[in-house]
Structure 1
Amino acid sequence: MSSSNTTQSTSKPFIDYFYKWEREKANQVYLRQPVGDTYIDYTWAEVGRQARSMASYLRSLDLPPQSPIGLVSKNCPHWLIADIAILISGHISVPLYPTLTAEQLHSVLEHSQCSVLFAGKLDNWSTMRAGVPTDVLCITFPENQSDSEARSWDDIVASYPPMIESPKPSPDDLFTIIYTSGTTGRPKGVMIDYRAAAEIAESTRTQTFQDLAGSRFFSYLPLCHVAERNIVEALGLITGGTIYFVESLATFAKNLAAARPTHFLAVPRIWTKFQQSIQANLPESRLQMLLRIPVVSSLVKRKIRQRLGLNDTVMILTGAAPMPIPLLQWFRRLGICIQDSYGMTENLGAVSMMPPDRIKDGTVGRINDGMNVRIDPDTGEILTQAPWNMRGYYRDPELTAKTLTADNWLHTGDIGELDADGYLRITGRLNDLYKSPKGEFISPAKLEFGFSENPLIDQICVMGMHLPQPIALLVLSEVGQKTLPVDVAKSLTDTLAVSNNQLQAYERIKKVILVKDAWTVDNNLMTPTLKIKRKELEKRYQSAINGWYNQEELVVWEV
């Protein structure tokens, strides 16, 4: 089955959006960095002055045109200013995750052939610094004062005049190289050209409210990830909106409430944390009782949305991982309509989006305008074709040929179904499928969906490639950690029974294992976008799995 939503569009270089607002909104605030109870504000004119001065410096280095330039930092104003400077100077930005180890940083910098690296707001730059090749010039943001060998951003900006005339890019010029988070091995450099960036901006205009005046954005997910770069950086430039940053993890709730974004993106794990926070202040039974009282219900909903900072949102998105249907419905009862979306770096994250007025739970929305999708009849794999498909993988023609067909169909690696109305359902990953001892294919993601309604569960990973039946590894939520073990065991036993009743015999989960430690980015069991790393989890628990499997109990606790 296939679906096609093709539109004609007129495109322009992405940097032109910045030039427009630099002229028309020179003295209006573009970027806001919270510092305690105050803000450091950057107007469009000030961003232009710093970006153009840095662009002059980059041009003075006499690098070949279209040279890759690295950018590693947590989200902050200078991340965006540096990205704009790279574009103005006619080079290619290569944004990198701020959680990379020194070894990973070295590998990506060498592969990308970066000769310059911007290093900004980082927790461990002194450790990461060892991974920078000796021939790479480092420029540190004002937020990074710990590197005496690097060039200082402020010194450069003070010493070089703003670049007035900048090279005009061709549609076929490379716009950026985005390295994937590496869930399935070595990160791959996804090449995106100017034509792709322009096409996606124009084709998805109606779905993303790009003409809304007074847009506000809240930046906290890694800006090097395609979703944050689309929803925050790109939409911020297109709408001429204001971008608010988070100061730290500790001030996240306070910063979000102050920003009151009109557009907001959060991965499922963030929405789970929001739910737990609300339930900690207002027990679920009392909340549901209040929601049944007409006048009180409206007041409660408004107060919760105000507390979260989501009262002014016109678009609330989730993506990057499966969003449990009960969680979507729970927020909908509070007047918070979360639109599921689907995409990957290789197609600029823009395959489908849930229309807020035509919701189909269990799907990731309707195929976007300009995007074609078909399902491989043999494997069930989702293939996409659009003007914003990647050009290929940087310096990897062999993998490019395996991923992109000659007529520009992209193999996503995801398995799914497409209905007659153009709605897409994701049912698993090709790489995650494994065969049972009797030769039947098992999709872990499908089995994990059955646990999504249990509030005691925070994280789950189903595995069992070498076992007679699958098992589920679980991390308890905050609610689960406060629940008596006997009640936890009963709840999970009941959930397991309901879930298994809907599965084929070979798919049924034998038992659940409650592990002690949460899976995080820091212990390398989650990606920076909060997706679990199945292979790393299998390695971590490999020596204990057989012992757990052979225990008599249905619910096993890691000792």
Structure 2
Amino acid sequence: MQHATLTEQARHWATSQPEQVWMRDLTESGPTDYTWGSAVAEIDRVAAWLEAKFGHGERMALLSKNRAHWIMADMGIIHSGNIAVPLFTTHAQTTAEYILSFTDTKALFLGETENWHGVKAVLPEGCVLITLPGVDCDLPHTKWEDVISTAPAEAPSYEPGPDDTVSLVFTSGTTGLPKGVIQTHATNLIPMRRCQYLFTQREQPRWFSYLPLSHIAERQIVEFSSINTGGEIWFNESLETLARDLPQCRPNIFFGPPRVWEQLRQSITAKFGGAEALATALASDQAGVQALVRGALGMDEVEYCLTAAAPTPPSLIEWWDEVGVRLCEGFGQTEAMGLIITDPENRRIGSIGKPAGEVQVRIGDNDELLIKADGCTPGYYNRPEKTAELWQDGWLHTGDKVRIDDDGFIFITGRVKDYFKTIQGKFVAPPPIEGRFADNPHSEQQCLLGRGYSKTVMVTVLNEPARALPKEQVE
């Protein structure tokens, strides 16, 4: 059954399948499970405590590595009628200070994080600190367990609507100060429901959470998709234990940006003794090698493999095809997710796919992709001038340049503001050039620089195998 808000949808599963596992934390000592019934009960206790202490509509930050209590804290804030502000565990002190100050944050949920020393130095005066289980700190704070035990017995009174703000997700700020993208119940449920028919047809699918939940992609594709479907989330202990944890989970949907797929490729190639040895094995028994690779990765039950968040080199997609894993590109941004998606049965390599569901697209000035769809952000928090730039005449301006082929497949060709002028007065578009370098077997990341330089320079980060080669061979 589908409900219009995250709150109602989570409570639906807590009532209809209370003993079903929702979240599983993987650790060296073994897994810890949280059922729908027990987790939503904790969420409601946290929500009641927050509502009694703060009322509704306040901004509350969340700073922790991924774990079940990240989601419980997130949903506790949302259930209480307040607004979650996720922070990255890698945020610089200046960025954290800006976000906390700009949003007038009233509370912060603290878990394990790399940057607490910098963040605690810029906490707003009067900000209430709540520590997740197993976490302590040297500032006055309230423990999660004490929140649960002292919360009012009554359930929170807040009754959500689909257009109520639930979160502010801040962009990276590559073109200035970070912008807080307003997220509602609808903007988090509609996009994933639009794509769910491609992801999986299972009633209770499994997700593997290893990318930061503070990023909109992981939060929607994993957290909110699980709430939408009643599925199960397994939390990776750390990137160092990825190879151990992923085969335990055997997810049905797996999302990774191109860099993750490249790192996994390097790992597989190394295990086979190099690219030539792998090619020989594939030529001898492709089906056997494919089954071996999928099983070793823990992807033998994957129904949909999504790659997004950055351009994926066609050569990388073709390599994964060879070993039996079909990568599908998609397109979304913090302002609007689940817009364009690839059907694995109707794929064109190099394309981000076709519009999903009711999504309308058109090409505007400078070949910019314009979008009209349900479930898009209403705008930016306290930035009316930026909201006016984002929304014009009912169309969302993505900032991405595209072309659409005769069959309706969409290809990203660059960013509207990516162009730079050399000192010779020539305009240069980096993406096509960077794309050529991305096909180099030694290259992991690449960036073309030219503005303010006497010459145009390509900066390339070598992948791990290339770093072990003699300099002359790489050149």
TM over 0.5: yes
- Superposition pairs for residues 48-447 of structure 1, below 5 Å? 48-63=40-55, 65-161=56-152, 163-164=154-155, 166-209=157-200, 211-282=201-272, 283-293=274-284, 296-347=285-336, 349-376=337-364, 378-405=365-392, 407-447=393-433
Is the Cα–Cα contact under 8 Å of residues 219 and 246 in structure 1 kept in the other structure? Answer: yes
Given that 2:329 and 2:353 are in contact with CA atoms closer than 8 Å, whether structure 1 keeps it comes out as yes
Counterpart CA distance in 2 for 1:11 and 1:38 is: 34
CA contact (8 A) 1:115 1:137 kept: yes
SS at match of 2:377: coil
Deviates more, 1:65-74 or 1:431-440: 431-440
Measure, in 1, the Cα distance between the counterparts of 2:191 and 2:431: 29
Once the two structures are TM-superposed, the CA of residue 146 in structure 1 deviates from its matched residue by 2.1
Counterpart of 1:108 in 2: which secondary structure? helix
Match of 1:525 in 2: none
RMSD after superposition: 1.8
Following superposition, the deviation at residue 370 of structure 1 comes to 1.9
In the alignment, the residues of structure 2 paired with residue 309 and residue 163 of structure 1 have an alpha-carbon distance, to the nearest angstrom, of 43
Given that 1:52 and 1:163 are in contact with CA atoms closer than 8 Å, whether structure 2 keeps it comes out as: no
Pick aligned residue for 1:14 from 6, 11, 17:
6
SS at match of 1:328: helix
Which range moved further: 54-63 or 335-344?
Answer: 54-63
Q: 1:277 to 1:104 in 2, by over 3 A?
A: same
Say if 1:137 and 1:281 are closer, same or farther in 2 by CA, change over 3 A: same
Matched-pair contact (CA < 8 Å) for 2:258–2:308: yes
Greater radius of gyration (CA): 1
The aligned amino acid for 1:134 is E
Q: 1:249 to 1:204 in 2, by over 3 A?
A: closer
Q: Which amino acid aligns with 2:399?
A: G
After superposition, give the CA deviation of every residue in 1:179-205 in whole Å (9 maximum; x if it has no partner). Answer: 112232311000122333343244333
Q: CA deviation at 1:472?
A: 0.9
> How far does residue 387 in structure 1 lie from its aligned partner after superposition?
1.6
> Is 159-168 or 393-402 further displaced after alignment?
159-168
- Tell me how far apart the structure 1 counterparts of residues 301 and 319 of structure 2 sit (CA, whole Å): 19
Give the deviation of 1:17 after TM superposition: 1.7
Q: Deviations over 1:351-373 (max 9, x none)?
A: 21111011111111111112111
**When the two structures are aligned, how many residues end up with a matched partner?**
473
Q: Hey, what's the Cα distance between the residues in 1 that align with 2:242 and 2:186? A: 35
| Code of the aligned partner of 2:355 | I
Residue 40 of structure 1 is matched in structure 2 by 32
Other-structure match for 1:461: 447
The secondary structure found in structure 2 opposite 1:459 is strand
Query: How far does the alpha carbon of each residue in 1:339-384 deviate from its partner, in whole angstroms, 9 at most, with x for none?
Result: 111111011x2221111011111111111112111111x4111111
CA distance in 2, matches of 1:216, 1:411: 34
Aligned residues of 1:49 and 1:162 also touching (Cα < 8 A): no
CA 1:165–1:157: 2 relative to 1, 3 Å: closer
For 1:251, give the aligned amino acid.
T
CA shift, 1:95, in A, is 1.4
Which one of 468, 471, 474 corresponds to residue 482 of structure 1? 468
Structure 2 counterpart of 1:344, one-letter code: Q
Quote the Cα distance in structure 2 between the aligned partners of 1:204 and 1:298.
30
Amino acid at match of 2:130: I
Post-superposition CA distance 1:74-99 (Å, at most 9, x none)? 11111100111112211122212121
Query: Residue 58 of structure 2 contacts residue 83 of structure 2 at CA under 8 Å; is this kept in 1?
Result: yes
Deviation at 1:325, TM superposition (A): 0.4
Name the counterpart of 1:452. Answer: 438
The answer to whether the 8 Å contact 2:369/2:399 transfers is yes
Unaligned runs of 5+ in 2: none
- Conserved? CA contact 1:102–1:132, under 8 Å: no
Where do residues 488-499 of structure 1 align in structure 2 (5 Å cutoff)?
A: 488-489=474-475
Distance in 2, matches of 1:170 and 1:24, equals 22
Residues in 1 aligned to 2:317 and 2:245: alpha-carbon distance in whole angstroms: 24
Secondary structure at the residue paired with 1:379?
helix
1:55–1:162 CA contact under 8 A, matched in 2: no
